[in-house]
Structure 1
Amino acid sequence: MRNRSTDFRDDILAARGWFAALIVVYHLWGVPIGGPVGIDLFFVISGYLITRQLVDERTRTGRVSMVAFIAKRVRRIAPVAIVVIVATVLVSSLIWYLPRAIVVAGDGMSALGLVANWHFIAEQHSYLEPSGTPSPLEHTWSLSVEEQFYLVWPLLVVLATLRVRSGARRRIVARVVAVAAVALVLTAVYSAWRTASAPDAAYFDTVARSWEFIPGIIGGALAASIDRIDVRVRTAVGSAGFLVLVGSAFWLDPSIGFPWPGAVPSVLGAALFVTFGIHGGVPRRLLTIPPTRYLGRISYPLYLWHFPVAILLPVAYGRSTTVLVVAAALSVLLADLTSRWIETPVLRSGWLRGWTAGGHRPLRAVLALRRSSRRRTIRAAAITAVFLVLIGASAAVPSPGSARLTAAVAAVVGDVRPSPTREWADDVEVRRAVDAALAAPRWPSALEPSLDRAFTTTIADEFDEVAGCRYPDGTVLAEALPCDAGPATAAHTALLIGDSTATAWAPGVVDALVPLGWRVRTLAFSACSPFAVPAARDAPSSTCSTSRQAGLALAAGAEADLVVLSAGGETWSERVRQLPSERRAAFARQWSAAVSDGVDQYRRLADRVVVLGPSPHGAHTSDCAVRVGGPERCETELPRDEVRASCVGGDVECVDVTPWFCDADGVCPAFIGDTLVRADRSHLTARTARSMSALLREALVSDEH
């Protein structure tokens, strides 16, 4: 019933195959809804097997060699991971243009450093609800979590059993189980708190995930005792656990927080299955069919290969059924070849084998933890603590895909912001350019910025959080200085206030008004509409309320002739999607009333108030623009309800900018003329904003001014 060559039980091997296949299907087709619970099974299996080995080693030899343990992990994990990560980075650079390729390279660096999970937390990734095309290396978070956990757990085993003699298995097991039980309670409490307070971060958080290893750890520690239970009882319990695990994959409620309590059923089911096993009868025959044993043997390279293939192949060739089937087959083929030619030869080779045998004496003197060696234990603990501090610090340091690195690379490759080659004179002219762009089979050769230079640095200077005037939500006016353009003694003053889209419009508004003798002052707060619009589920945040008060305070002291208010339409769409259809009409009325009330507040403080309608939002240009496809991949639509939401209610004066960006059917190209429209999902490039200055001038300047 055991696979002696791998130290895996056949039922565990087959289960790995079943759930590796389930994860592949989930990432390609989005079903079953609980596909990610396969990761929970892998964590439980890992905890069970490794703890069983640690307890056996401690009982047999009286020590646990950290060098041997780490060397085994490196031999098992590193070769395949390095090949997949390097290949993914290289292929990504062939498919995507430089801005996205650099981000993937940064993801690869964090994956190689086994801190990918903290990197994705710092980059504010959402695994279950991604806002764009996920990183092809996002799945490496689980590898990072596992290796970080196993830097700590063997050390805890050693510390818990310091004064226990070799051979005293019962005392060793009792202490390991006691430490594991305490760790289970502490990490489960932390996971519940983290999931409630920051669900996206909790998904990747090592501590929030640690409790998932511990039921397997307890089972591994108690394995010798459990093996003495009647095989029929063990099979019945193990089969029940497997059914719970399978059920959680198909009936997981996505509204339940993950990992806590969402992962509880799958972890408990996996723990029962792994600990007690399925040792005979029909359940075993169904579980261990040859295809699942085969997939189990290649499950590690299959897990690593499938996600890059599932992301990159549809990006390059479209998301058709044929492409998805090819992606599944290619994932298995690559996993088989990698297992056959890299993983297995390395495991059979002599690489690091001397370390696993305890032959590397200088390091063993530090890390081979003997029961009587407190000094060595302290040294090993110190080394582990330093590494953990470095892991934690990585979340605070700008990560490779961050804005700072992007800006630095943009400067190196010559990210310049030339003046637009033309300024659209009127609606007719820009409509012709829009229609021509939608009919174009390829990107313009003179596109500005070029797709290899389309970094977020191509958004207006005002967008910068340090040098500009875009502030975090909740910033008070005393700490939020506006960006000023034009002389302080100008005859007329205009305020541009809103969320981050206001800063993206700033170059166009400045070019429209300053030459006419105006002063333009811009102030924006990230993700905070200037209107007290309702949230779909919760009340508007108090921090955004503070930001709105800051905008009103600026207007109160400015004696403005004109206030231009801007908010991204994406906010409307995201909130409406959360609502059932029967509630959307009432929600729209509340939204319109909030816009009208907001405009009325500013009218008391300025001569004229204009709402600038939302510009198109869509896929991030760095995601949708690929070297193997045309501009149609980046086309988007501007739903009319977004425009209505911003422009109806009372006698709101609104500038509908849809005709400047979209055709009569609401389809919007990614470029107009020779200018790239968006620098990301929702913000205009500075060049696009400037090209609209004549249209803005006509819309914003009244006859009195």
Structure 2
Amino acid sequence: MSISSTDHPTAPGSDRQDAPDAPTRPGAYRRDLDGLRGVAIALVVAFHIWAGRVSGGVDVFLVLSGFFFTGMLVRRADSGSVGVLTTIRRTLRRLLPAMVVVLAAVVVATVVLLPHTRWSNIAGQTLASLFYYQNWYLALSWSDYLAADPSVSPLQHLWSMSVQGQMYLVVLLTVAAVAWVLRGVVRAGAWKLAAEYPLLRRIGQDGMLRLTLAVMFAAAAFISFRHAGEGVSTQQGWNYYDTFARAWEPLVGGLLALAAPLIRLPRPTREVFAWTGIAAIACCGWMVNGSLVFPGPAALIPVLATAALILAGAGRDTADQPVVNRLLATGPVVQLGGFAYALYLWHWPMLIFYLGEQHQRRAGWLGGLVIILISLLLAFVTHHLVEEPLRLRSRPAATPALGRVLAGVAVSTVGVLLVGSTLAWQWSMGAKAHAVGELDPAKYPGAEALTDHALVPRAPMRPTTEEAPADIPYPTRDGCISDFDTRAVTTCTYGDRDAHRTLAVVGNSHAEHWIPALQILGEQYRFRVVVYLKMGCPLTVAEEPVYKGQQNPDCRDWSSEVIDRLGVERPDYVFTTATRPSDNGGDETPQDYVDVWSALSDRGLQLIGIRDTPWLRRNGIRYRAIDCLAGGGDRLSCGIPRAEALNAENPAATPAAAFPNMHLIDPNDAVCEHDICPVAEGNILIYHDEHHLTASYSRSMAPELARELQPILDWW
């Protein structure tokens, strides 16, 4: 984002020599846009802390980054050379020091405040942020940027810095390449021949650079905009972080940098542009839910609003600018914009760590004010002690050379230690994470401690908190479950592959985590287990299925094909989940599940609906068992009261009564005690994350699952 003044037309590498009342000629200093940066960061912080919504401020920053950076590059090209390596070095020197300081602080806070089970993920995101690929890291996990609770990463907000860094590189190389080609044309004498045409003569060599870039930027922005619009309705979780979907926003800023010097608007039009623009930016967060629709067409609101403010003040003396632009150019707003970059870096980790310590989902008014004040103080200190000393052309009187050297050495040392420590974390945790394999049932009775009152000897819990993330169901391990972005139906066979009786396991990961138990039963009682699985997609017939609040049309299309295939392949039984957690506590059977039963019944299929196992939640916030245990909890204190996880009666019972072919099973007495659903039982850890069974515990449930299934299947 153009949060940092790095991307200002006078930066990097030049002093601010234009007086405040100088005309805003091409390349002149725009104090009003510094002020706009301040307004945008204020909206970002306020909406993150108090509203739990996206404000549109990030989109303002992306447009400004394209405007400032493109304008700077074109002016350098006009004066001789873009200087690719010099520009990269200067830009990184302006952006990285503050980033390194904040990342180092987050790493220290992670060690002090968070359980070691979260260190590896934070380490991965630290490296992703430092090397500007954090947006892709988050896209692969569909992280919800709307969410701000203790389970969210304190580095999640840095996705936008990665988008900005990637776009900087692309724009830099594009401008440099076009300028190099045009210089070659001039050196070859071809320009003299081309200049015989009156139009080219009027455009001139500098104009030809701008015209070529404008055509390229416009074409790329159009393609990116189309891509973003399609992504909103197909894979918004990925789309939100996708650089290709975001590219049109900084490219619009680049087009403004190329076109603004040629545009002269009448005073009434500029006033309308300015007032409309600032109003749209201020209200954007309430007008649309940006996390669900940006950077699609809805992002035109903040993008066009920013463009209107840029054009309203273009090419005019400060005194002749609209009232809004003059207000944006006032001291306090400009000063806030001056350290907006540092404030953006600090506010999100402050919010996430605060929520973690308070065990809350919202900071509240008082807590929010505390977060803002501390973030402002840290941003001010970072700006003046880290950013300013390392300015490429700092004024000697303000920043002695020795101070610059010491600041540079300190930041470099911290950076090296940061990379080394995060790599060590990842290696250490990665080496410990692995599936545990078969466990001795005498030492590790697991579910049988509940169902058969098996003796539980003293033995270390397995899988351990380090092993658990890799103790996953077989389909995920084998690539036999379609991921969030895969539309194709993937099938695999478990159990007795040569058997003639077939149990089809259908749905999402909560159907999948029964495969280790069903694998044992299939081999023992000679039946095949064929999986039809997709992440985040419990079989649906809804026209607009939703996952994490986002449309998921792949789930609809995948489900339609699976239902049709089941009707043709006709397995003996279809095994799927019949309930899910309710937002208000307990569990429920949504109408969509019942509609699926109806669709399968119409095809004459026999159904087995299994009641879902409890999800670990406190105050509506999901948490991982391994984090709670690593933080000092035990198997009971880290568990969830049974009454909060499960209704007294199976909610699927009433709707299932209308379907003679629907058979319900409820294995939760093998997961929960009378009053509590613990996170470990019979020396085996139950959950490998917030709500999925470990493969080890699933295997221990095979005897109980056999008792539940025998009266239905009658295969043994």
Which residue is equivalent to 1:612? 610
- Counterparts of 1:44 and 1:529, CA distance in 2: 34
Which residue is equivalent to 1:249? 285
Structure 2 residue runs of 5 or longer lacking an equivalent are 1-9, 19-27, 192-202, 396-421, 546-552, 617-621
Alignment-mate amino acid for residue 471 of structure 2: T
- Counterparts of 1:168 and 1:530, CA distance in 2: 56
Which residue is equivalent to 1:19? 40
Contact 2:579 2:612 in 1 (8 A): yes
* Secondary structure at the counterpart of residue 688 of structure 2: coil
5 Å-filtered alignment, 1:284-295, equals: 287=328, 291-295=332-336
Alignment-mate amino acid for residue 79 of structure 1: P
Alignment-mate amino acid for residue 521 of structure 1: R
Which residue is equivalent to 1:182? 219
- Counterparts of 1:697 and 1:459, CA distance in 2: 21
Which one of the candidate residues 673, 698, 706 is aligned to 1:689? 698
Percent identical among aligned pairs is: 24
Between 111-120 and 299-308, the greater mean CA deviation after superposition: 111-120
Which residue is equivalent to 2:605? 601
Structure 1 residue runs of 5 or longer lacking an equivalent are 352-400, 434-443, 603-608
5 Å-filtered alignment, 1:134-213, equals: 134-161=152-179, 162-163=182-183, 170=207, 172-213=209-250
Give the 3 Å change call, closer, same or farther, for CA 669–42 of structure 1 in structure 2.
same
Between 77-86 and 317-326, the greater mean CA deviation after superposition: 317-326
Which one of the candidate residues 312, 336, 344 is aligned to 2:380? 336
Give the 3 Å change call, closer, same or farther, for CA 642–28 of structure 1 in structure 2.
farther
Contact 1:431 1:663 in 2 (8 A): no
- Counterparts of 1:530 and 1:120, CA distance in 2: 20
Is 1:82 equivalent to 2:113 in the alignment? no
Which residue is equivalent to 1:459? 472
Which residue is equivalent to 2:503? 495
- Counterparts of 1:644 and 1:82, CA distance in 2: 56
Give the 3 Å change call, closer, same or farther, for CA 593–480 of structure 1 in structure 2.
closer
Is 1:267 equivalent to 2:303 in the alignment? yes
Which residue is equivalent to 1:214? 251
Which residue is equivalent to 2:413? none
Give the 3 Å change call, closer, same or farther, for CA 445–348 of structure 1 in structure 2.
farther
- Counterparts of 1:265 and 1:237, CA distance in 2: 13
Contact 1:136 1:307 in 2 (8 A): yes
Which residue is equivalent to 1:50? 69
Between 277-286 and 88-97, the greater mean CA deviation after superposition: 277-286
Contact 2:33 2:328 in 1 (8 A): no
Residues paired across the two proteins, number: 608
1:391-434 Cα shifts (integer Å, max 9, x gaps): xxxxxxxxxx9xxx99995554675353452354586778999x
- Counterparts of 1:684 and 1:49, CA distance in 2: 51
Give the 3 Å change call, closer, same or farther, for CA 431–316 of structure 1 in structure 2.
farther
Which residue is equivalent to 1:116? 134
Which residue is equivalent to 1:484? 495
Give the 3 Å change call, closer, same or farther, for CA 316–550 of structure 1 in structure 2.
farther
Which residue is equivalent to 2:194? none
Q: Cα RMSD between the aligned structures?
A: 4.5
> TM-score normalized by structure 2?
0.72
1:218-260 Cα shifts (integer Å, max 9, x gaps): 332344455x767786455333322222232331255973212
1:580-607 Cα shifts (integer Å, max 9, x gaps): x9xx986565355346557x513xxxxx
Contact 2:37 2:340 in 1 (8 A): yes
Give the 3 Å change call, closer, same or farther, for CA 494–44 of structure 1 in structure 2.
closer
* Secondary structure at the counterpart of residue 541 of structure 1: helix
Alignment-mate amino acid for residue 62 of structure 1: G
Give the 3 Å change call, closer, same or farther, for CA 625–423 of structure 1 in structure 2.
closer
- Counterparts of 2:137 and 2:372, CA distance in 1: 28
Give the 3 Å change call, closer, same or farther, for CA 308–649 of structure 1 in structure 2.
farther
- Counterparts of 1:125 and 1:256, CA distance in 2: 12
5 Å-filtered alignment, 1:144-543, equals: 144-161=162-179, 162-163=182-183, 170=207, 172-225=209-262, 234=270, 237-253=273-289, 257-277=293-313, 283=324, 287=328, 291-319=332-360, 320-321=363-364, 323-347=367-391, 409-412=429-432, 416-417=436-437, 418-419=439-440, 421-425=444-448, 446-455=460-469, 457-461=470-474, 463-466=476-479, 470=481, 480-484=491-495, 495=503, 497-499=505-507, 500-509=509-518, 518-527=525-534, 533-535=540-542, 537=544, 541-543=556-558
Give the 3 Å change call, closer, same or farther, for CA 27–292 of structure 1 in structure 2.
same
Alignment-mate amino acid for residue 214 of structure 1: L
Give the 3 Å change call, closer, same or farther, for CA 120–529 of structure 1 in structure 2.
closer
Give the 3 Å change call, closer, same or farther, for CA 234–692 of structure 1 in structure 2.
same
* Secondary structure at the counterpart of residue 684 of structure 1: coil
5 Å-filtered alignment, 1:586-597, equals: 587=592, 590-591=595-596, 593-594=598-599
Give the 3 Å change call, closer, same or farther, for CA 218–701 of structure 1 in structure 2.
closer
Contact 2:66 2:250 in 1 (8 A): yes
- Counterparts of 1:341 and 1:529, CA distance in 2: 46
Give the 3 Å change call, closer, same or farther, for CA 327–624 of structure 1 in structure 2.
farther
- Counterparts of 2:682 and 2:449, CA distance in 1: 14
- Counterparts of 1:104 and 1:568, CA distance in 2: 35
- Counterparts of 1:687 and 1:168, CA distance in 2: 70
Shift of 1:17: 1.6
Shift of 1:263: 0.6
* Secondary structure at the counterpart of residue 140 of structure 1: helix
- Counterparts of 1:676 and 1:287, CA distance in 2: 57
